[in-house]
Amino acid sequence: MHMTEPAQKLSISARAAPRPSFVDALNEEQRAAVEALDGPVLVLAGAGTGKTRVLTTRIANILASGRARPHQILAVTFTNKAAREMKNRIGKLVGGAVEGMPWLGTFHSIGVKILRRHVELVDLKSGFTILDTDDQIRLLKQLISAENIDEKRWPARQFASHIDGWKNRGLVPEKIPEGEAFAFANGRGRELYAAYQRRLKELNAADFGDLLLECLRLFQDNPGVLSEYHNRFSYLLVDEYQDTNVAQYLWLRLLAQGTGNLCCVGDDDQSIYGWRGAEVDNILRFEKDFPGAQIIRLERNYRSTANILGAASGLIAHNEGRLGKTLHTVGGEGEKVTVQGVWDDEEEARLVGEEIEQLQRQDHALNDIAILVRASFQMRAFEDRFITLGLDYRVIGGPRFYERLEIKDAIAYLDVTLNPANDLKFERIINTPKRGLGSATLQIIHSHARSRSIPMAQAARELIETEELRPKPRKTLSDVLAMFDRWRGQIETLPHTELAELILDDSGYTAMWQKDKSPQAQSRLENLKEMVRFMSEFDSLAGFLEHVSLVMGVDREESEDRVNLMTLHSAKGLEFETVFLPGWEEGLFPHQRHLDEAGQAGLEEERRLAYVGLTRAKTRAKISFTQNRRIHALWQTAIPSRFIDELPEAHVEAIEGQEKFGNYGMNRFDQADGIFSNAYDTPGWKRAKRNAQSEGQPAARRGPLTIDGELVASSTASSSDFEIGERVFHMKFGYGRIAQIDGNKLIIDFDKAGQKRVVDSFVKRH
DNA sequence: TTCAATCGTCTTTTT
DNA sequence: GACGATTGAA
The b/e string for A66-101 (b: 16+ C-beta within 10 A; e otherwise) is: eebebebbbbbbbbbbbbebbbebbbebbeeebeeb
DSSP secondary structure string for all residues of A510-545: HHHHHH--STTHHHHHHHHHHHHHHHTTSSSHHHHH
**For C1, which residue's CA is nearest its C1'?**
A633
DSSP secondary structure string for all residues of A562-630: -EEEEEHHHHTT--EEEEEE---BTBBTTBHHHHHHHHHHHHHHHHHHHHHHHTTEEEEEEEEEESEEE
Superfamily the domain A403-550 falls into: PCRA; domain 4 (1.10.486.10)
The per-residue pLDDT for A733 is 57
Sign of CA dihedral A749, A752, A754, A759: negative
**For B13, which residue's CA is nearest its C1'?**
A569
The per-residue pLDDT for A215 is 94
Provide the strand spans (E) within A292-336. Answer: 294-298, 300-301, 328-329
What is the set of active-site residues of A? Answer: 51-52, 239-240, 270, 616
Strand B at less than 7 A from CB of A567 = yes
The per-residue pLDDT for A228 is 94
Residues of chain A with pLDDT under 70: 1-20, 96-100, 398-399, 518-519, 552-558, 633, 657-721, 729-735, 742-745, 749-766
The per-residue pLDDT for A189 is 82
Nucleic strand B contact set for A 497-526 (CB, < 7 Å): none
**Hey, what CATH topology would domain A130-199 get?**
Arc Repressor Mutant, subunit A (1.10.10)
Q: Which nucleotides on strand B sit less than 7 A from a protein beta carbon?
A: 1-3, 10-15
A478 CA from B13 C1′ (Å)? 45
For A609, phi and psi rounded to 5 degrees? Answer: -65, -40
Sign of CA dihedral A224, A228, A230, A231: positive
For A32, phi and psi rounded to 5 degrees? Answer: -60, -40
A496 CA from B4 C1′ (Å)? 40
For residue A439, give the nucleotide whose C1' atom is nearest its CA.
B1
For residue A567, give the nucleotide whose C1' atom is nearest its CA.
B13
Nucleic strand B contact set for A 108-127 (CB, < 7 Å): 108-109
The per-residue pLDDT for A501 is 93
Residue A51 and residue A267 in contact, taking contact as beta carbons nearer than 8 Å: yes
Same topology for domains A7-115+214-298 and A328-392+561-663, yes or no? yes
The per-residue pLDDT for A452 is 87
**Any idea how long chain A is?**
766
CA dihedral A744, A745, A748, A754 (to 10 degrees): 160
Return d(Cα A162, Cα A83) in angstroms, integer.
29
Q: Which nucleotides on strand C sit less than 7 A from a protein beta carbon?
A: 1, 6
Residue A651 and residue A337 in contact, taking contact as beta carbons nearer than 8 Å: yes
CATH 2.60.40 fits A706-765, yes or no: no
Cβ neighbours of residue A757 closer than 8 Å, sequence gap 6 or more: A388, A702, A708, A742, A745, A746, A747, A748
For residue A78, give the nucleotide whose C1' atom is nearest its CA.
B15
**For B2, which residue's CA is nearest its C1'?**
A436
pLDDT in tens, A519-560: 677 778 888 888 898 888 888 888 888 888 777 655 555 678
A67 CA from C8 C1′ (Å)? 73
A753 CA from B5 C1′ (Å)? 20
Residue A421 and residue A430 in contact, taking contact as beta carbons nearer than 8 Å: no
Strand B at less than 7 A from CB of A23 = no
Strand B at less than 7 A from CB of A473 = yes
Q: Which CATH architecture has domain A328-392+561-663?
A: 3-Layer(aba) Sandwich (3.40)
- Spell out the CATH class of A7-115+214-298: alpha beta
The per-residue pLDDT for A155 is 80
What's the whole-model pTM score? Answer: 0.79
Return d(Cα A748, Cα A297) in angstroms, integer.
57
Residue ranges covered by each domain of chain A: 7-115+214-298, 130-199, 328-392+561-663, 403-550, 706-765
A273 CA from B12 C1′ (Å)? 11
Strand B at less than 7 A from CB of A572 = no
The per-residue pLDDT for A547 is 83
Task: Identify whether A420 is preceded by a cis peptide bond (ω within 30 of 0).
Answer: no
The per-residue pLDDT for A17 is 61
CB closer than 7 A to strand C: which residues? A 151, 630, 632-633
The per-residue pLDDT for A19 is 61
